[in-house]
Structure 1
Amino acid sequence: MDMNTAKDKPVVCFGEILWDVLPTERKPGGAPMNVAYHLHKLGIKSTLVSAIGHDKAGADLVDFLHSIKLSANYVQVSHQQPTSEVLAKISASHEVSYEIVYPVAWDNIAWDTDFEPLITNAGALVFGSLSSRDVTSRETLYKMLKLATYRVFDVNLRAPHYSVAIITDLLNQADLVKLNVSELMLIAGWYDAGCKTERDCTDMLFTYFDFKELLITKGSSGASYYTPSFRYDYPAYKINVADTIGSGDAFLAAFLAMKLKNEPLETSLDYAAAMGAFITSQSGACPDYSKFDLDRFIWEKKFSGKSRLTAALKLTAH
């Protein structure tokens, strides 16, 4: 994909929109919605394609989209299935587990002829694995993938809502794959049980599939960017964790925002790491903030105490 032609085009985010029901409150969520939210905050036009139920929970989500100036024009309303609500449990170590109901409205995103110009004119299509669990949404996604010029697979394995066959299909149709290190090791093991290290697993996946970019998030250990020919490691920002809900989505949104603006790889990874940390330091996936708030967070982290400007970065040729 030529980023010079993509930088002024919108990003389409396909999949779930839902309520994350936390112990004391509920907050809007869903990986594609989170990515669209943060892209919008960073000045990238984004469009969400999803579905809600014909109920108050769905109407409240539409009100939220309007409040953050995201279009609901491609959010379908289902009269058969309810709006998705996910019970999120946060452990003492700040890890999050999810109880995801099936079926819900976003399992039935139907193909619409208006999707064709939307996708063909987009700079990127972001999609996950969760929204492909039902045949209706999956067939709609597959049609979109045939039209997209840059396909970003945001892996989000939530047992039992995935299969090896479907994940394989999606990997075969991706240009950039983003996943966490646990998902990397699990998926690589499906194809080669002998993969034991990160390097072995990434090498195997690049041999097995045609995607050209791989983003691996590692929590407090930072992140790594791979192509078939090189690896780039980037450290994490040190923060006090509120919860990890949506941190990976924020990371991806910031990386894409910089990539679509033709920023250097180091800049893209730094901004992604900062955004992931910034969201992790707050409650919920979509806290209210401005780009100024994020830039101030980066400035304070870089120039308080030991400067991140001296952090060790590794660019390794394969």
Structure 2
Amino acid sequence: MPKANSECFVRRTYNAHGGGAANVAAYSAFYGGLKVGLVSKIGTDREGGELVTRMKEYHVSVKGVSKAEDSISTRIAVIYSSERSRIYLVYLGAVENLSVKDLPAEYVSNSTLFYIAPATPRVHKEYVETGVKHGKLIGFNPGSVYFQEGDKGDFQQLLKFVDLLFVNEPEALEYSNEESIQAAGSALQRLGAKYVIITRGNLGCMVFFKGGSESYPSYKVERASPVGAGDAFAAGFLTEFVRTRNIESA
């Protein structure tokens, strides 16, 4: 990466539709065969409309997707400087207007699990509280939101309501203030999350639960792109868990 007040050349760029919630919804519905509804806000721009079209193609209900007037859809710039080093620049745009009022009643009555993707601390709190109120399983991926926005204490308060916490290695270490993955996973589980799933790239993942942990290797596959790999993992995990409630098979 360039230093301050300097520049560098970019080798390749490309555009894609997605985002944490949209990716997990699409993978779970299209490949997992689940009935999935997406809740989000889009702007009045072309990109927002294209996302809705793509979600329909992946058999995702978009009844919970609404437009925010005078806003543009979320933009995420992912900057890669090496295989395992990346920076996300996120402009929330329309999603800043998202609230629990955008959640369709039929989603609540017909769902088993709420999967809450990276958003604002306010949105996380509203949707976790609503899910718990209605007896839903809570899957939560905070991303790195609480590194910069809100307070880690707010994040920790949510964990007592979370059934499945999805974080990667850097996130686990940062949120737990620990120096090893084993210590980090155990600490996050003690804070209240029933299961803590830490993804480790090509090393697989570790799952922490009350009284222990298990490590699982990754499958060897041909990589098309690392973008959204964590979302694909979460979708596969959630699909199996919703059907079986079995962590081992998930």
Global fold match (TM > 0.5): yes
What residue number does 1:176 align with? 164
- Secondary structure (helix, strand or coil) at the match of 2:61 reads coil
What residue number does 2:141 align with? 154
- 1:60 Cα deviation (Å)? 1.5
RMSD: 2.4
Aligned in 2, Cα 1:23/1:76: closer, same or farther, shift over 3 Å? farther
After TM superposition, the structure 1 = structure 2 runs for residues 220-231 of structure 1, keeping only pairs within 5 Å, are 220-231=202-213
Tell me, yes or no, if the aligned pair for 2:188 and 2:196 is still in contact at 8 Å: no
- 1:170 Cα deviation (Å)? 2.5
Instruction: Tell me the alpha carbon deviations over residues 264-313 of structure 1, each in whole angstroms, 9 at most, x when there is no partner.
Output: 54332xxxxxxxxxxxxxxxxxxxxxxxxxxxxxxxxxxxxxxxxxxxxx
Gaps of 5+ in 2: 1-10
- Secondary structure (helix, strand or coil) at the match of 2:67 reads strand
Tell me, yes or no, if the aligned pair for 2:79 and 2:86 is still in contact at 8 Å: yes
After TM superposition, the structure 1 = structure 2 runs for residues 199-214 of structure 1, keeping only pairs within 5 Å, are 199-207=182-190, 209-214=191-196
Matching residue within 240, 246, 249 for 1:258: 240
In the alignment, the residues of structure 1 paired with residue 103 and residue 82 of structure 2 have an alpha-carbon distance, to the nearest angstrom, of 45
What residue number does 2:80 align with? 90
Gaps of 5+ in 1: 1-21, 190-194, 269-318
In the alignment, the residues of structure 1 paired with residue 232 and residue 126 of structure 2 have an alpha-carbon distance, to the nearest angstrom, of 25
- 1:181 Cα deviation (Å)? 1.7
After TM superposition, the structure 1 = structure 2 runs for residues 14-33 of structure 1, keeping only pairs within 5 Å, are 23-33=12-22
Matching residue within 155, 163, 167 for 2:155: 167
What residue number does 2:61 align with? 71
Number of aligned residue pairs: give it. Answer: 237
- 1:120 Cα deviation (Å)? 4.2
Instruction: Tell me the alpha carbon deviations over residues 195-241 of structure 1, each in whole angstroms, 9 at most, x when there is no partner.
Output: 3333323333333x222111111112111112112211111123454
Aligned in 2, Cα 1:47/1:23: closer, same or farther, shift over 3 Å? farther
In the alignment, the residues of structure 1 paired with residue 174 and residue 102 of structure 2 have an alpha-carbon distance, to the nearest angstrom, of 37
Tell me, yes or no, if the aligned pair for 2:26 and 2:59 is still in contact at 8 Å: no
Aligned in 2, Cα 1:180/1:132: closer, same or farther, shift over 3 Å? same
- 1:139 Cα deviation (Å)? 5.8
What residue number does 2:33 align with? 43
After TM superposition, the structure 1 = structure 2 runs for residues 1-318 of structure 1, keeping only pairs within 5 Å, are 23-40=12-29, 41-93=31-83, 95-102=85-92, 104-112=93-101, 115-128=104-117, 130-133=118-121, 135=122, 137-138=123-124, 140-145=126-131, 146-158=133-145, 160-189=148-177, 195-207=178-190, 209-262=191-244, 264-268=246-250
In the alignment, the residues of structure 1 paired with residue 204 and residue 226 of structure 2 have an alpha-carbon distance, to the nearest angstrom, of 14
Instruction: Tell me the alpha carbon deviations over residues 91-110 of structure 1, each in whole angstroms, 9 at most, x when there is no partner.
Output: 332543211124x1111113
Tell me, yes or no, if the aligned pair for 2:77 and 2:89 is still in contact at 8 Å: yes
What residue number does 2:7 align with? none
- Secondary structure (helix, strand or coil) at the match of 1:62 reads helix
Instruction: Tell me the alpha carbon deviations over residues 122-176 of structure 1, each in whole angstroms, 9 at most, x when there is no partner.
Output: 1100003x3124x4x3564254233242111113115534531332233232111
Question: How does the TM-score come out when normalised to structure 1?
Answer: 0.67
Q: Provide the identity percentage.
A: 22
